[in-house]
């Protein structure tokens, strides 16, 4: 098959032109990076697992009425997605303290937060994706006040869905990151979930043992990353892709 035109290559994924207008093909690489790509490695099989897991989460979200860019999985490493205009923000939802909020506010990792906390970081590798406030986002025109309200509502719906799903298989959803894009339907703009939802972008802890089943295994050298992701897939009944 002729290779499609590459639109963009990121740290963990490549976007190709899709077969129809308004679509892209999203390819999941095995590359793992952390700390703004200061630490990097190739973890065989990670891309296959994330393709399959992101398909699983986004299909579920689509079914419960939370719109996502996911259309269908094409093969082990590729999925067909809707093209969106990405809002240049990382939307983070936290249920328990970990990672940067623990450092920033001196909170012990694992401390339950008083309520889910939604944070926004400006997507810019050169700046290290700095935390920004609603003031910055609106002043610099990255999103409107209506977008802000819609993004928070979407992020909290994803949080409820993902927390329940994970709790059902004995996993605590500590936090996660999503990206959101705009699509135009006639004159109307709609916001939908884009990018990926996978153990690369979530913190997932075993409820009983506290064992980490997410990218912190790589960031903190805690063991084998594909074993951790395979365990998440196994518990959710997500079989490895074999297409």
In the complex, which residues of this chain contact ligand C5P (CB under 6 A)? 90, 92, 98-100, 129, 175-177, 201-203, 215
Which residues, 6 or more positions from 33, have their beta carbon under 8 angstroms from its beta carbon? Answer: 11, 12, 39, 40
- 55 or 129, CB closer to ligand C5P? 129
Cα–Cα dist 117/94, whole Å: 5
Q: How far is the CB of 89 from ligand C5P (least distance, A)?
A: 11
Residue with nearest beta carbon to ligand C5P: 99
Please provide the size of the chain in residues. 243
Cα–Cα dist 23/70, whole Å: 10
- 217 or 233, CB closer to ligand C5P? 217
Q: How far is the CB of 217 from ligand C5P (least distance, A)?
A: 11
Contact 120, 91 (CB under 8 A): yes
Cα–Cα dist 46/141, whole Å: 36
Contact 181, 69 (CB under 8 A): yes
- 100 or 226, CB closer to ligand C5P? 100
- 36 or 144, CB closer to ligand C5P? 36
- 18 or 58, CB closer to ligand C5P? 58
Contact 70, 18 (CB under 8 A): no
Q: How far is the CB of 243 from ligand C5P (least distance, A)?
A: 26
Which residues, 6 or more positions from 53, have their beta carbon under 8 angstroms from its beta carbon? Answer: 197, 198, 199, 229, 232, 233, 236, 238
Q: How far is the CB of 176 from ligand C5P (least distance, A)?
A: 5
Q: How far is the CB of 94 from ligand C5P (least distance, A)?
A: 7
CB count within 10 Å of CB 80 equals: 17
Q: How far is the CB of 39 from ligand C5P (least distance, A)?
A: 13
- 83 or 95, CB closer to ligand C5P? 95
């Amino acid at each position: 098959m002729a290779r499609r035109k590459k639109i963009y290559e990121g740290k963990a994924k490549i976007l190709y032109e899709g077969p129809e207008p308004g679509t892209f093909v999203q390819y999941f690489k095995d590359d793992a990076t952390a700390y703004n790509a200061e630490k990097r490695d190739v973890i065989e099989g990670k891309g296959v697992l994330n393709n399959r897991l992101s398909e699983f989460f986004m299909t579920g979200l689509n079914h419960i009425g939370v719109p996502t860019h996911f259309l269908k999985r094409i093969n082990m490493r590729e999925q067909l997605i809707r093209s969106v205009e990405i809002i240049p923000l990382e939307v983070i939802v936290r249920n328990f303290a970990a990672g940067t909020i623990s450092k920033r506010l001196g909170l012990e990792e694992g401390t339950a937060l008083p309520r889910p906390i939604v944070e926004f970081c400006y997507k810019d590798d050169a700046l290290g994706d700095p935390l920004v406030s609603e003031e910055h986002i609106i002043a610099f025109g990255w999103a409107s006040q209506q977008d802000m309200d819609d993004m928070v509502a979407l992020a909290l719906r994803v949080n409820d869905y993902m927390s329940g799903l994970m709790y059902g298989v004995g996993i605590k959803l500590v936090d996660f990151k999503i990206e959101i894009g705009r699509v135009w339907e006639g004159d109307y703009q709609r916001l939908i979930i884009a990018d990926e939802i996978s153990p690369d972008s979530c913190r997932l802890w075993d409820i009983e043992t506290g064992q980490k089943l997410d990218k912190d295994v790589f960031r903190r050298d805690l063991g084998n990353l594909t074993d951790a992701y395979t365990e998440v897939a196994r518990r959710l009944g997500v079989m490895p892709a074999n297409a």
